[in-house]
Amino acid sequence: MIYLIQDNLFREFHQESLISALDKFGLEYEIFKLKASIDEIEFQTNRKDVFVFGAVKSAHISKKYNWCPGSFYNENHDYIVYSKYYLDNMLNWDSKVQKISDPVEINGPFFARPTGDNKLFKGEVFENSKLWDVSVSYYLNYNKKATGDEMVQISSVKNIMQEYRCFVVKGEVITSSMYKLGDVVLYKRCWDDDIIEFANNMCTIYQPAEAFVIDICRTEEGLKIVEINCINCSGFYDIDIQKLILSLEENF
């Protein structure tokens, strides 16, 4: 395959690691710019065997070029869809799903995030509904495409001890990394057998795409799924990028 990599998307170290892996295996790649105003990707290749590393918008746009595999982003990358399969294996299984414009009727802190892997806003804890209302007002006023009908999930605040990201290809965890220890950001290659086993077990329950990313956390109640993400637009943290590229090549 040829790999299209969005310019200035990843941290410099991660982009260098990705390019280094592609160079090592003699694989072709291009650095592209996203023409966001006209929903176009600026590229030169005529090949159709293309894999895109880019932002969520790039993953959406790449669909129209009929690349294979191109982007694995689809409608399954949404809490509303995958939570029906994973059930109480989800960290925020107690979530209430509602429109972003609907009022939140919770006294005290709560967690909120978009149901889809669309990066409309970053999932975070809000101390009260008044702060949420301010944030929603800002979002609706400054996001030109916002309608107020965007779906969000509202849940109780959880105590998370560790968070991990697992890259899955054809139902198997290929490589994984810790990205948070408590409230501290910490990128560290994951060798924890229970994390990898749990993620693989979740893949036997449901797979939203042939390749995707599943974030796992360690809690006092055991291991839980934080969320599902699109593999084309997920941060690498400290994964084994060479191993990921080899798997993509072997499978697609």
pLDDT digits (tens, 9 = 90+) for 7-44: 877 665 688 889 999 999 999 999 998 776 678 888 99
Name the pTM for this structure: 0.93
Return mean pLDDT, the chain: 92
Give me the mean pLDDT over the 119-137 stretch.
87
Q: What is the pLDDT of residue 11?
A: 65
Give me the mean pLDDT over the 176-183 stretch.
95
Residue 36 in tokens: 């966001």
Q: What is the SS3 assignment for 231?
A: helix
Quote the CA–CA distance of 17 and 84 in Å, as a whole number.
36
With a cut of 80, say whether residue 49 has pLDDT above it: yes
Q: What is the pLDDT of residue 42?
A: 87
Quote the CA–CA distance of 85 and 18 in Å, as a whole number.
33
With a cut of 90, say whether residue 165 has pLDDT above it: yes
Q: Which CATH architecture has domain 158-251?
A: 2-Layer Sandwich (3.30)
Q: What is the pLDDT of residue 120?
A: 77
With a cut of 70, say whether residue 160 has pLDDT above it: yes
**Residue 61 phi, psi dihedral angles, 5° rounding:** -65, -35
The percentage of residues in the chain with a pLDDT greater than 90, rounded to a whole number, is: 74
Q: What is the pLDDT of residue 144?
A: 74
**Residue 59 class from Cβ within 10 Å (0-12 exposed, 13-18 middle, 19+ buried)?**
buried
Q: What angle do CA 209, 213, 214 make, to 5 degrees?
A: 105
**Residue 166 phi, psi dihedral angles, 5° rounding:** -115, 130
Q: What is the pLDDT of residue 12?
A: 58
Residue 63 in tokens: 């669909």
pLDDT tens-digit series, residues 68-126: 999 999 999 999 999 999 999 999 999 999 999 999 988 899 999 999 987 777 889 99
Q: What is the pLDDT of residue 22?
A: 97
CATH fold of 92-155 reads Dna Ligase; domain 1 (3.30.1490)
**Residue 117 class from Cβ within 10 Å (0-12 exposed, 13-18 middle, 19+ buried)?**
buried
User: Measuring CA to CA, which residue among 77, 79, 78, 86 is closest to residue 223?
Assistant: 86
Bridge-based pairing state of the strands 2-6 and 29-35:
parallel
Q: What is the pLDDT of residue 7?
A: 86
Indicate if the alpha-carbon torsion angle 158, 163, 167, 170 is positive or negative: negative
With a cut of 90, say whether residue 146 has pLDDT above it: no
Neighbours of 226 (CB within 10 A): 21
Domain ranges of the chain: 2-65, 92-155, 158-251
Quote the CA–CA distance of 6 and 233 in Å, as a whole number.
10
- Which DSSP state fits 90? B
